[in-house]
Chains A and B, each alone.
Chain A
């Protein structure tokens, strides 16, 4: 999977003719917007496996799934960010159309469910506006949003899921 992604990226890079430093992103849709994470944070992308809902957890934790022999939590960022539009119910018939990004950070891994095939995109660093210049998103910690890539007519919001993990943004304890 990773090798394939690398291939795709290289291809992409040949297309985008912009000199200067670039960062490689995995782009996915949340609600109507495009979001992205740096490719280094993504361990793999898998078609959504069977997800077992876990009782007594916050709504944005879809459940736990067996991903290559490892039990991981799968979260739904649309719910986490509080987008109140109708989210995709992950029933078995819809499962095939969604994917899970496996984010890995040191010993911690977590799955993020996305609705369509994520794509790769290389964006020059010069095209990224850092977050402090942009309007603060209503329900996200500013430090979770690293910036906005504004290129080729697309507006891609860069989020830092590792930062979310570090901040303990993703929690279960309602009782705490």
Chain B
């Protein structure tokens, strides 16, 4: 039974490991935050230990000793806390949170080929433990000295199995340094001995078990790693030794001359301190080895869920898209009437399949929201503000790619809400507000969209402050600023280079700005809106597509070429006559729902070599001037983040669900189009980039104002 893994299998195992570990790390953060709020909770402590334990087991079996070490030290802190010799004060929590961060870094670092050192935080934890230990010794006076030595002796005497060098060096900065090598016993550091003792123990146990299966004794590490992983690491405790004799045989198996006295082995194992709080490794004397064998079979139970790398889902989604195009092509063939019934069932099946594929990609927003307990805690700490986080709608489902795309934006919005939105406790007291501010993350479904809101009950955004800022930064002239409505002013927080904070703080003044938030939301076809009331707080609302598999578009033709605009950006379709439209500065204006909106003839945009030509006077008037007075125009009202404008098209077609493909090389940079799709007829339909056109029209708006002034 040779267990050899292909590089691909290894990669998949590694991917699974990373995915599981990230998951566990996320839980760790959540529980840590919870424990900080409620340090006396036994159940949280239990959960924490469980998570740490699993994480440690997984990491150890994969050879990522640094992760294992940190987990182990954290476990130890909690064990001392349980014993009552260590107090979980702010300092300790700080260290624990830092450790958790480092764990996250280490896990991410596996794939990024980054060298991450964990020595600093490790030492900090060790100091905490040493202090606690000193106290413990004073209290108990019971620890016999020989037990301190025992594991060390064992570890030194037992065969040393090198960890996978490649993996170790990937995650550890100085893998040659003794601190980084858990398997090398260090007499000065008791914890280390225990760890190495434990690792050796587990190795020998696994070898023993392989022996039962008739595996080769001189296994290579790869084999071991694969084996122990495949059999699910959570079951490391499953390597329970049920038979005393066979257990001792383990120790004898590979130890050469200086085998430790049996007595000390026994002590080493029976003393919980030395078996590294691995309570699960229990020595049960009264069970026969046949039971051990039986139990082994129980341990290879196959999980009911499958972890699928996202790239496989992406591939599935692409194939799904091709299938739908092919289906539409068949349906639009001339002889399709003869096969109407067959096509109908094909249509139904593919649609069902499409929804299934979409469904598989959905994840609950809670998976992201839950990470924010930690984010809020950290930001509140830095900003010296008191904050509670409320989470609503955790069970709303959204495409995983959408969630990933907005995760950074959401962090920024929450930082902003705490940093800029919420007032300090003193100010809040003066204002008769509750001292603790509330930041709410809320998600809910709205037809084909998911709305995610970040709300704070802070000071709100003052349009007057923005007005002043715009003028002082020279973004608009004071005259233009005066003519702007509050909503228009507030939309300027998304303007590149605009920051309304008076001073740059450690948290808010760094990383992505509001303009980046807006852009990243728009890349996936979403929109951003702001609602704010001075003194009562701000809500930033992200309107996101629930699924990225298909995109609803409104199709139309221009000069017999099919074009489309995403329904996500389509407010309505209206019909205008020439006299409804007036020239205004560089552009055209009309009234829509009693509001003036810009009108642009798409033919004028298509005619241009690039967007800079819109600044030339008359370029946006050309089609308008060519039309006769009686002509009616079909106008698509495009709406993006509260900005609306009308696009005059030649002829409207229908709404359609399409699979958008990016523009082919070398046209990726085209600013007017966001992508293409192949229609059932085989024709290509080009999808307009509504966002880019909005930006363009609104950036010139100032020029429009200016030219109005000039005229």
The residues of A with any CB-CB pair to B shorter than 8 Å are 50, 52-57, 61, 64-66, 69-73, 108-110, 165, 170-176
Contact = CB atoms under 8 A, between A and B. Distances in A.
B561 A172 contact: no
Nearest to A174: B610
B678 A71 contact: yes
Contacts of A172: 666-667, 669-670
Interface of B: 322, 325, 561, 605-612, 661, 663-667, 669-673, 676, 678, 682-684, 686
B610 A54 contact: no
Contact of B666 (A50, A52, A70, A171): A171
Contacts of B664: 64, 70-73, 109-110
Given A56-B670, A71-B676, A172-B670, 15 more contacts: A52-B684, A54-B670, A55-B605, A56-B608, A56-B611, A56-B671, A56-B672, A69-B678, A71-B684, A109-B664, A110-B666, A165-B665, A170-B665, A172-B666, A173-B669
A72 B322 CA distance: 16
B682 A66 contact: yes
Contacts of B671: 56, 175
B223 to A, nearest CB: 36
12 contacts: A50-B683, A54-B670, A55-B607, A55-B672, A56-B672, A57-B670, A64-B664, A69-B325, A165-B665, A172-B666, A175-B610, A175-B612
Contacts of A108: 665
Contacts of A57: 667, 670
Contact of B609 (A64, A66, A73, A174): A174
A148 B683 CA distance: 39
B668 to A, nearest CB: 8
Given A56-B610, A69-B325, A174-B609, A64 B670 contact: no
B322 A54 contact: no
Given A56-B611, A69-B678, A174-B610, A64 B684 contact: yes
B661 A71 contact: yes
Contact of A109 (B325, B665, B670, B672): B665
Candidate in A55, A69, A172 with the most chain B CB atoms within 10 angstroms:
A55
B414 to A, nearest CB: 36
Given A56-B609, A56-B672, A71-B684, A64 B663 contact: yes
A70 B686 CA distance: 14
A52 B561 contact: yes
A136 B196 CA distance: 70
A173 B670 CA distance: 7
B673 A54 contact: yes
A172 to B, nearest CB: 5
B676 A64 contact: yes
B413 to A, nearest CB: 31
B666 A73 contact: yes
A18 B155 CA distance: 74
A165 B665 CA distance: 9
Nearest to A110: B665
Contacts of A176: 669
Nearest to A51: B684
B613 to A, nearest CB: 10
A108 B611 CA distance: 27
B456 to A, nearest CB: 39
Given A172-B670, A175-B612, A54 B665 contact: no
A172 B607 CA distance: 16
A56 B688 CA distance: 12
A50 B682 CA distance: 9
Contacts of A53: 561
A7 B605 CA distance: 48
Contacts of B667: 54, 57, 61, 64, 73, 172
Contacts of B686: 52, 54, 64
A125 to B, nearest CB: 31
Nearest to B560: A52
Contacts of B610: 56, 174-175
A65 B684 contact: yes
A69 B664 CA distance: 12
A149 B670 CA distance: 38
A108 B671 CA distance: 20
A64 B608 CA distance: 18
Closest 9 CB pairs of A and B: A55-B606, A52-B684, A73-B664, A170-B666, A108-B665, A173-B669, A71-B676, A174-B610, A72-B664
Contacts of A175: 610-612, 671
A70 B661 CA distance: 10
A144 to B, nearest CB: 15
Contact of A66 (B612, B666, B678): B678
Nearest to A70: B664
A69 B666 contact: no
A171 B668 CA distance: 10
Contacts of B676: 64, 71
Nearest to B608: A56
Candidate in B325, B606, B663, B665 with the most chain A CB atoms within 10 angstroms:
B665
A109 to B, nearest CB: 7
Contacts of A109: 664-665
A66 B605 CA distance: 24
